[in-house]
């Protein structure tokens, strides 16, 4: 299935929590949980909102890439 969001998102465009959830394929409640408990990609406060830089989201994903195991 092709994801409806552009991959990768343009690096100059900040993502909202909802856009990040859609991009990652997780519920927005997961994003909110990461915001309060930690563990998600780095975010920035912009007024009352949290925004995410796409390049930092992709770097965060790369850190979580599964390593192949020897058989």
Q: What is the pLDDT of residues 35-50, one digit of tens each?
A: 999 999 999 999 999 9
pLDDT mean across residues, the chain = 87
The better pLDDT of the pair 47, 11 is held by 47
d(CA 65, CA 1): 20
Quote helix, strand, coil % in the chain, to nearest 5: 40, 10, 50
Q: Is 24 left (phi over 0), alpha (psi -120 to 50) or beta?
A: alpha
Across 10-20, average pLDDT: 87
C-alpha–C-alpha distance, residues 1 and 12, integer Å: 26
């Amino acid at each position: 299935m092709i994801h409806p969001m552009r991959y990768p998102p343009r690096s100059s465009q900040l993502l909202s929590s909802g856009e990040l959830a859609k991009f990652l394929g997780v519920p927005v409640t997961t994003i909110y949980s990461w915001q309060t408990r930690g563990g998600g990609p780095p975010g920035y406060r912009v007024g009352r909102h949290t925004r995410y830089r796409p390049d930092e989201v992709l770097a965060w994903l790369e850190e979580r890439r599964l390593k192949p195991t020897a058989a």
